[in-house]
């Protein structure tokens, strides 16, 4: 992975955000200096129920009819071959027939079947779902992950060398996740593939470089740092030295071991599935176990304009295995009560299958009605919020907008929606735009909060 990645912040990018450009960037390591998250942060409200969020981002937009909102009576032009949904362990709730493991843990999550925003473009829909804001305004707002990183940063008691906002494994590049908050709130994108050994995390784990060689590099860098010795009282030089020490502390110390999935039992790794997604779920669990506030798993491959059902037969079992094991594992470890799991994409897909050329059995973009899943952190499980119509084409009951979901996440994290965010130009900006006054909202998710 290159230094900048596809929109994520790299190890050198972290360092450059922490000190004047060039002061120690060449020796920067991961650059996780504490000053990165200290400035401009506000403490969360004390009534938080949740500590962390794992966002499973279904990159490209998953089909609601083929996941959590099946319509078996709609006919083959809508169901395709997936016309036999299965019962779950939550009374009266059915889901796609290719999700048997998730059916066994449905009591741990709730399904929102009436998501809507009406946007069919990837970039604009992703912005809406990730920020809760209408696209096209003069202000580019931060995503939920960046806001949580701000409010759950060091001033709120977050400690450690791992950044508070992690993306497994690469950022979307659709828009700036940090918005006007700036680069220090960009997520740390790990790069690499957790299904491979070692999991080559950008700036932390380098394939083929032993710890002994890293220590030799550290010692050589320290020995060559004559400027640091001559200017020990200089603030920028001191910041560079601290960043280097913290970087090597992550590389060679215990903190970086959170990415070493070989420490887990092989049986558990097999349960998650040995795919990139399955092992990303395991890595996410390890990260929140260490107190990381926000982890996004970017799961690509859901933009299924063509060969939709062939793709679903391959990907849905992977989703089923990884996500179901994540929920069960979090629960078994007592972490689900403090961890929100938020499954969503930017939109759903066209309920009517596009059999005609050139699609030949695909589904297009569909923002009028889709679904999301919420679990843990204070969200009730085993419930369904809202309803789409008989063909999944319209919201029939209880519309839910992206801001409503985000407001619920903030509420459980103890983040005040009326709190201000620091805009570099001093513009008045709040965590949440108030409902009403043209802001589309279905209201608080009282059914599951």
User: Which residue, among 346, 252, 310, 334, has the nearest Cα to 55 in the 3D structure?
Assistant: 346
Q: What domains does the chain contain, in order, with CATH numbers? A: 1-36+217-259 (no CATH), 45-205+264-413 (3.40.720.10)
The reported pLDDT for the residue numbered 256 is 72
The reported pLDDT for the residue numbered 155 is 66
The reported pLDDT for the residue numbered 436 is 74
Provide DSSP, 133-145.
S-TTSSS-PPPHH
Q: Which two tokens stand for residue 123?
A: 């970039």
The reported pLDDT for the residue numbered 219 is 52
**3 state SS of 305:** coil
Q: Under a CB-based contact definition with an 8 Å cutoff, are residues 165 and 145 in contact?
A: yes
Cis check for the bond before 224: say yes or no (omega within 30 of 0): no
User: Which residue, among 150, 185, 148, has the nearest Cα to 41 in the 3D structure?
Assistant: 150
Where does 66-220 show beta strands of DSSP type E?
86-87, 94-95, 109-115, 165-168, 188-189
Please, where are the H alpha helices in 344-438?
A: 402-413
What are the residue ranges in the chain where pLDDT is below 50? 1-7, 11-46, 217-218, 248, 252
List pLDDT tens digits, range 95-123: 999 999 999 999 999 999 999 999 999 99
Q: Under a CB-based contact definition with an 8 Å cutoff, are residues 31 and 352 in contact?
A: no
The reported pLDDT for the residue numbered 403 is 97
Read off φ and ψ for residue 109, nearest 5 degrees.
-135, 160
The reported pLDDT for the residue numbered 227 is 59
List pLDDT tens digits, range 245-276: 555 455 545 667 899 999 999 999 999 999 99
Where does 198-338 show beta strands of DSSP type E?
294-299
Q: Under a CB-based contact definition with an 8 Å cutoff, are residues 248 and 29 in contact?
A: yes
The reported pLDDT for the residue numbered 104 is 98
d(CA 282, CA 330): 10
**3 state SS of 262:** helix
Q: Under a CB-based contact definition with an 8 Å cutoff, are residues 364 and 334 in contact?
A: no
Spacing of C-alpha 37 from chain mean position:
19
Burial 18-48 (b: 16+ CB within 10 A, else e): bbeeebbbebbbbbbbbebbeebbbebeeeb
Q: How many other C-beta atoms lie within 10 A of the C-beta of residue 357?
A: 6
DSSP 225: -
User: Which residue, among 197, 195, 166, 246, has the nearest Cα to 5 in the 3D structure?
Assistant: 166
């Amino acid at each position: 992975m290159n230094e900048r990645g596809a929109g994520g912040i790299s190890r050198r990018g972290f360092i450059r955000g922490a000190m004047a450009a060039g002061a120690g960037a060449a020796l920067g390591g991961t650059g996780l200096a504490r000053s990165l998250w200290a400035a401009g942060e506000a403490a969360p409200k004390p009534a938080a129920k949740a500590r962390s969020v794992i966002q499973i981002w279904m990159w490209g937009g998953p089909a609601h009819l083929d996941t959590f909102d099946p319509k078996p009576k709609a006919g083959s032009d809508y169901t395709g071959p997936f016309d036999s949904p299965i019962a779950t362990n939550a009374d009266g709730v059915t889901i796609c027939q290719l999700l048997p493991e998730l059916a066994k843990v449905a009591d741990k999550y709730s399904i929102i079947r009436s998501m809507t925003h009406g946007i069919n473009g990837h970039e604009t829909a992703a912005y809406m779902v990730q920020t809760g804001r209408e696209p096209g305004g003069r202000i580019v707002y931060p995503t939920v992950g960046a806001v949580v990183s701000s409010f759950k940063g060091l001033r709120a008691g977050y400690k450690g060398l791992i950044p508070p906002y992690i993306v497994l494994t690469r950022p979307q590049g659709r828009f700036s996740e940090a918005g006007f908050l700036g680069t220090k709130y960009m997520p740390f994108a790990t790069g690499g593939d957790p299904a491979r050994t070692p999991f080559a995390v950008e700036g932390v784990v380098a394939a083929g470089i032993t710890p002994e060689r890293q220590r030799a590099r550290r010692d050589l860098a320290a020995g060559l740092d004559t400027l640091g010795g001559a200017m020990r009282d200089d603030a920028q030089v001191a910041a560079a030295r601290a960043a280097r020490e913290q970087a090597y502390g992550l590389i060679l110390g215990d903190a970086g071991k959170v990415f070493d999935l070989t420490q887990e039992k092989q049986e558990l790794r097999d349960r998650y599935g040995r795919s990139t997604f399955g092992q990303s779920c395991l890595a996410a669990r390890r990260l929140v176990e260490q107190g990381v506030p926000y982890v996004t798993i970017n799961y690509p491959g859901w933009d299924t304009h063509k060969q939709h059902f062939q793709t679903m037969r391959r990907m849905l079992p992977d989703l089923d295995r990884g996500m179901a094991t994540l929920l069960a594992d979090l629960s078994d470890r007592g972490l689900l009560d403090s961890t929100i799991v938020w499954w969503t994409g930017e939109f759903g897909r066209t309920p009517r299958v596009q059999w005609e050329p050139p699609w030949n059995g695909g589904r297009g973009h569909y923002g009028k009605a889709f679904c999301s899943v919420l679990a843990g952190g204070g969200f009730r499980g085993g419930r369904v919020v809202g309803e789409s119509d008989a063909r999944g084409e319209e919201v029939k009951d209880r519309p839910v907008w992206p801001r409503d979901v985000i407001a619920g996440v903030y509420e459980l994290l103890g983040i005040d929606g009326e709190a201000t965010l620091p805009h570099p130009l001093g513009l008045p900006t709040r965590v949440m735009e108030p409902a009403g006054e043209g802001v589309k909202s279905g209201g608080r998710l009282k059914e599951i909060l």
